[in-house]
């Protein structure tokens, strides 16, 4: 990806990882500059929340608001840069199937165990706790990058949720541009946004070379 212009380094390669986020859970991990971060909907129909905090400065957070303004788009598209609250590039979307939609508008949201809305505060607490597990005390929590969630904007400016866009095995993969702590969530469905009886699992893979994701990609690549 020439647009990243990451300078080569003689340092040892950072560790690679494979993590499964069970439905309803959240998981934190550390990703390093130059790595590929791939997020996969295991069974289909399950959006994933993506959050990030800079390892160098916890005041810098992955921000959908600043990404929208920086890219002049309310949807995350192939080749777009995800930026922090100070508009520094954090990662770039490098792999995403044409049918996939990724939302930059909706806030943290999750249903309760009983299928009702109103679980956002509990979900926020889980995200903060996950960051602490990797040694990061979040100074603030931005809204998520809602991977695989399709939300349209009507001519009158109204929001029109269209559900989850992902099928079983679909992935979104990013080239990481700065060292980050990231949290990936597999929230229970908020019935205002998407329908799923039980939350599904999200798989996360971190690799040092894009070729090492080949067994996760689809024929469209």
pLDDT exceeds 80 at position 217: no
Q: What is the pTM of this model?
A: 0.90
Q: Which whole number is the average pLDDT over 118-146?
A: 89
29 HSE (CA, 13 A, CB side) = 26
pLDDT at 72: 84
pLDDT at 12: 75
Encode pLDDT of 42-54 as tens digits: 999 999 999 999 9
pLDDT exceeds 90 at position 8: no
Encode pLDDT of 82-129 as tens digits: 999 998 999 999 999 999 999 999 887 776 654 455 567 788 889 999
pLDDT at 4: 52
pLDDT at 180: 97
């Amino acid at each position: 990806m020439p647009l990243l212009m990451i300078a080569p380094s003689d340092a040892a390669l950072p560790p690679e990882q494979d993590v499964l986020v069970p439905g309803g859970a959240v998981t934190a991990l550390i990703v390093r500059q130059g790595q590929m971060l791939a997020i996969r909907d295991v069974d289909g129909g399950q959006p994933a929340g993506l959050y990030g905090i800079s390892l160098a400065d916890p005041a810098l957070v992955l921000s959908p608001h600043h990404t929208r303004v920086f890219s002049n788009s309310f949807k995350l598209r192939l080749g777009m840069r995800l930026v922090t609250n100070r508009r520094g590039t954090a990662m770039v979307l490098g792999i995403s199937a044409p049918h996939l939609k990724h939302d930059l508008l909706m806030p943290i949201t999750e249903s309760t165990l009983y299928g009702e809305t109103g679980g956002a505060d509990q979900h926020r607490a889980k995200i903060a706790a996950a960051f602490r597990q990797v040694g990061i005390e979040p100074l603030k929590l931005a809204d998520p990058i809602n991977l695989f969630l399709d939300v349209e904007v009507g001519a009158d400016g109204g929001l029109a949720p269209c559900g989850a866009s992902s099928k079983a095995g679909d992935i979104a993969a990013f080239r990481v541009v700065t060292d980050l702590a990231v949290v990936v969530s597999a929230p229970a469905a908020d019935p205002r946004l998407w329908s799923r009886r039980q939350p599904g699992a999200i798989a996360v893979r971190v690799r040092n070379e894009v070729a090492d994701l080949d067994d996760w990609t689809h024929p469209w690549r």
